[in-house]
Amino acid sequence: MSEDVPYYRNSHVNLGGFSVGELTRSLDDSADFFDGPASDSAKQDVLKKLVVAGQNILNPLRQMGFVVDVVRSYSEGASNHGTGYVLDITPMSKNFEDCYTIASTLRGLNTCDQIWIEASDHEGNFHVHAKANPQGYNANPDLQTITDPEGGSGTSGLEYKMTKIDSLKKVVS
């Protein structure tokens, strides 16, 4: 697998359903890492993990016809995003129902350790936080919806939910 991962600076290289640039340029913290002082080998190691995330998350979704953008990938300071296996993705609508559909689809793939729906802001825009399983399979990912960026009860009118995604259909339907 590692031999198939192009050099991290080759942002134009397409890896099936995603490009290297989507993984290395999403949000400032990712770009700062890949442009920063870390060694080339450290950057390449992170890219290898991000490619696993892309293969487990982006490729299958896009093959099924989902149109999603990577809004965050690697972040040195964040515990989940610092693993390299995490992508925050969003549909064009950024609405909860579309994120729920994506999260439910990812759940059925059994390729993630975590799948969360998070509020991107206080305006009601949402994204799906997905952490790929490095071995490629997990039948019981941690599925949780979080509708407030801090995981707390709603500031700016967001309704707080800590509902397991399997039981969320009752809320969404």
Question: What is the domain-level CATH number for residue 83?
Answer: 3.30.1380.10
Residue at 6 is within a domain: no
CB 99 within 8 A of CB 125: no
Residue at 41 is within a domain: yes
Residue at 3 is within a domain: no
Residue at 1 is within a domain: no
**Whose structure tokens read 């093959």?**
63
Residue 118: domain span: 11-172
Q: How many domains does the chain have?
A: 1
Cα(139)–Cα(165) distance, integer angstroms: 14
Residue at 48 is within a domain: yes
Residue at 79 is within a domain: yes
Residue at 20 is within a domain: yes
Residue at 35 is within a domain: yes
Per-residue pLDDT tens listing for the chain (173 residues): 345 799 999 999 999 889 999 999 998 999 999 999 999 999 999 999 999 999 999 999 999 999 999 999 999 988 899 999 999 999 999 988 899 899 999 999 999 999 988 887 777 788 999 999 999 898 888 877 666 544 444 434 334 444 444 444 444 44
